[in-house]
Amino acid sequence: MPANLKEAADLAARAAELDGGDPWAHLALGQLATMRRQTDAAVHAFQQALELNPNFAAAHGFLGYALALDGQSEPAMEHLTQALSLSPHDPQNIVFLIGLGLAHYQAGRYNETVKYSQNVAQQRSEHFGAHRQLCASLAQAGRTEEARATLERLKQLQPNVSLAWVNENLPLTPQAMKHYLDGLRKAGLE
């Protein structure tokens, strides 16, 4: 585990130990579990945060994001939509919009993913994740020319992007990762 993740894990565990009633501590534990591809632990931590504060938009959003990374599209969409509803102007909603796109992608609704990814890319043109997701979804939708053009834009933004980089750095669980890499491969990423 990288040193910064180890330190973050230690601090989050200590925060939860000092105040188990703080939903933010459980949110941090959930985010760390998500980064480690430990969906069950992430879901448990986010649900603890929601038990403490049922209207905690971030906990709904990151729970939905963790579920999307695991290919659990329907419950992911429920929580992500709830987060956006509870806090419609939150700056972290970009993450939740990416999560909604990913949930649609994992469910095979590629044109919906295109819409969410384009929305994020328009709001934040430098958002690598939006361009990666857009690239994969366009390829899966059979929109090959658009996918290849998006891949070229992605390579300009993120010159080190490769299938190996995605596999190593994105916290998708194995089956969801396989599907995601398939779309990127179809777009021409090596």
Q: Tell me what pLDDT residue 4 has.
A: 72
Kindly report the number of other CB atoms within 10 A of residue 160's CB atom: 8
Could you report the per-residue pLDDT of 107-160, keeping only the tens digit for each? 999 999 999 999 999 999 999 999 999 999 999 999 999 999 999 999 999 999
- Cα(108)–Cα(176) distance, integer angstroms: 11
Cβ-Cβ contacts under 8 Å for 17 (sequence gap 6 or more): none
- Cα(181)–Cα(179) distance, integer angstroms: 6
What is the residue-level pLDDT of the chain in tens, covering all 190 positions? 566 766 666 666 666 666 668 899 999 999 999 999 999 999 999 999 999 999 999 999 999 999 999 999 999 999 999 999 999 999 989 999 999 999 999 999 999 999 999 999 999 999 999 999 999 999 999 999 999 999 999 999 999 999 999 999 999 999 999 999 999 999 999 9
Q: Tell me what pLDDT residue 176 has.
A: 98
Query: Would you say 105 and 181 are in contact if contact means Cβ atoms under 8 Å apart?
Result: no
3-class SS of residue 23: helix
- Cα(134)–Cα(44) distance, integer angstroms: 30
Q: What domains are defined for the chain? A: 1-89 (1.25.40.10), 108-190 (1.25.40.10)
